[in-house]
Amino acid sequence: MANNRAVTFMGPGKMEVRDAGYPKLADPKGRKIEHAAILKLVTTNICGSDLHIYNGRFEAPAGMLMGHENTGEVVEVGSHVQHIKKGDICSVPFNVACGTCDSCRDRHTDVCLRANEDLGFCGAYGFNLGGWQGGQAEYMLVPWADFQLLRFPDKDEAIEKIRDLTLLSDILPTGYHGCVEANIRTGSTVYIAGAGPVGRCAAASAQLLGASCIIVGDENKARLDLVKNAGYEIVDTSSATPIPDQIESILGKRWVDGAVDCVGLECHGNGPDGSKKNEVESVINTLMEVVKPAGAMGVPGVYTNMDPGAPNSLNKQGKMALDLPKAWVKSPKMTAGQCPVMRYNRELMMAIIWGRMPTLTSMLNTEVISLDDAPKAYETFGAGAANKFVIDPHNMTRLAGKSLRDSAAARPKATAGTR
């Protein structure tokens, strides 16, 4: 039986590649599950959400296998799996979801009622949410495989476009969801807080949705440069000029139609001393300030009551000091939580396959690395590198372009075969 080398969380600041043993068709409590599949990982990305765990800001048990942004080739299926076949290359939505509970039927796979037995809802791989092990590994288990897996129509095309398709397991649907919840549509103006990979995916999503003025704020100059080079507007949150003033100098107005939090609980404050301020509420308060009356806010940025490193006693209790009383009179609307990836991933896959997804590859600045390079990449990404790190455990992306068919001929077949 094959081993399974995997990026393993050993405590804050400590990621190690260890052999975790080949996965079994069994749930986190050890019960056999025939609706599951085993995948050989093609790509598995490091995310800002992983950094919260790495930085000790989202509690997780030592020994947990990391990785919720997974794409893989099916190598084994349980006896109840009917439609997914060995050899399929599939994107794995980061939310674990059963497909039959009330939440799943409501397209809320972010809060599946069967994927996290201890909490009662909300499961994810490699995230201390339901005990499902992550996929920054050679192999991983995916339960409810027929429901969960998004099969790519053409294997050669999947490898050719893997740098964009690998984003479908999380950050592209997440950026898109943030914009949808901020009510971004044709002609909308939007402020996106955070120029990390999620913020950059949100900018591209806003463009796809038809937004007019797309403004991204951060203090990280290298990340802002990627945004600017892709043709979007930028705001420097470390400037002495307040953010509404910077927005006004771009837009002629101090308000935007919608705003998206792509930062979360590890945000810094605004202004020249912002980096020294370890705040939890800074971004949400900024959003409430810059959004127009009756505007909307999408909050995919992660917040938690499992934050031992929280900066003050209020935050340690899982609470924050919101300016809601000040903003209340503007009739704000806000949606927070995990992105229900399955609500968007098939459509976004089609947008990528047909070349409709703007500027992703260059703006994400993707760096493909080996499994052994992953612990170092956690350090580099955590220090603010302007890359998206994509782990390729079996060196499969080297096959890109090696056996491609004529793409014009392949496309109609590919779309017809989509689930």
Ligand X SMILES: NC(=O)c1ccc[n+]([C@@H]2O[C@H](COP(=O)([O-])OP(=O)(O)OC[C@H]3O[C@@H](n4cnc5c(N)ncnc54)[C@H](O)[C@@H]3O)[C@@H](O)[C@H]2O)c1
Of the candidates 191, 190, 204, 171, which has an alpha carbon nearest to the alpha carbon of residue 339?
Answer: 171
| 42 vs 215 by CB, closer to ligand X | 215
Contact residues: ligand X, CB under 6 A = 47-49, 51-52, 170-171, 174, 193-199, 217-220, 223, 237, 262-264, 267-268, 270, 282-283, 300-302, 338-339
Q: Measure the CA–CA gap between 159 and 157, rounded to whole angstroms.
A: 5
Of 20, 90, 98, 374, which lies in the binding site for Zn ion, with binding defined by CB under 5 A? 98
> How many C-beta neighbours within 10 Å does residue 295 have?
24
Asked if 51 interacts with Zn ion (CB under 5 A), we say: no
Tell me the residue type at 321.
Answer: A
219, interface contact from ligand X, Zn ion, none, CB < 5-8 Å by kind: ligand X
| 205 vs 220 by CB, closer to ligand X | 220
112, interface contact from Zn ion, ligand X, none, CB < 5-8 Å by kind: Zn ion
Q: Measure the CA–CA gap between 393 and 333, rounded to whole angstroms.
A: 42
Taking the complex as a whole, the smallest distance from the CB of residue 307 to ligand X amounts, in Å, to 12
Asked if 166 interacts with Zn ion (CB under 5 A), we say: no
235, interface contact from ligand X, Zn ion, none, CB < 5-8 Å by kind: none
281, interface contact from ligand X, Zn ion, none, CB < 5-8 Å by kind: none
| 122 vs 414 by CB, closer to Zn ion | 122
332, interface contact from ligand X, Zn ion, none, CB < 5-8 Å by kind: none
Taking the complex as a whole, the smallest distance from the CB of residue 166 to Zn ion amounts, in Å, to 11
Of 47, 81, 247, 310, which lies in the binding site for Zn ion, with binding defined by CB under 5 A? 47
Tokens (6 digits) for 221: 């100059």
Residues 4, 22 contacting (CB under 8 angstroms): yes
Taking the complex as a whole, the smallest distance from the CB of residue 135 to ligand X amounts, in Å, to 15
| 143 vs 217 by CB, closer to ligand X | 217
Asked if 369 interacts with Zn ion (CB under 5 A), we say: no
In what side-by-side order are the strands of the sheet with 5-11?
14-19, 5-11, 64-65
User: What are residue 364's phi and psi, to 5 degrees?
Assistant: -75, -25
104, interface contact from ligand X, Zn ion, none, CB < 5-8 Å by kind: Zn ion
Q: In 1-119, at which residue ranges do the beta strands (DSSP E only) sit? A: 5-11, 14-19, 37-45, 64-65, 69-77, 89-92, 95-96
| 112 vs 280 by CB, closer to Zn ion | 112
283, interface contact from Zn ion, ligand X, none, CB < 5-8 Å by kind: ligand X
Half-sphere exposure of 305 (CA within 13 A, CB side): 5
Asked if 49 interacts with Zn ion (CB under 5 A), we say: yes
Taking the complex as a whole, the smallest distance from the CB of residue 136 to Zn ion amounts, in Å, to 11
* Residue entry with tokens 């950059």: 200
Q: Measure the CA–CA gap between 343 and 346, rounded to whole angstroms.
A: 8
| 197 vs 295 by CB, closer to ligand X | 197
Of the candidates 283, 28, 246, which has an alpha carbon nearest to the alpha carbon of residue 140?
Answer: 28
Q: Measure the CA–CA gap between 56 and 390, rounded to whole angstroms.
A: 22
Taking the complex as a whole, the smallest distance from the CB of residue 274 to ligand X amounts, in Å, to 7
Of 39, 81, 112, 334, which lies in the binding site for Zn ion, with binding defined by CB under 5 A? 112
| 385 vs 400 by CB, closer to ligand X | 385
The radius of gyration of the chain from alpha carbons, rounded to an integer in Å, stands at 21
Residues 180, 188 contacting (CB under 8 angstroms): no
Residues 57, 266 contacting (CB under 8 angstroms): yes
* Residue entry with tokens 């991933």: 345
Asked if 101 interacts with Zn ion (CB under 5 A), we say: yes
Taking the complex as a whole, the smallest distance from the CB of residue 125 to Zn ion amounts, in Å, to 10
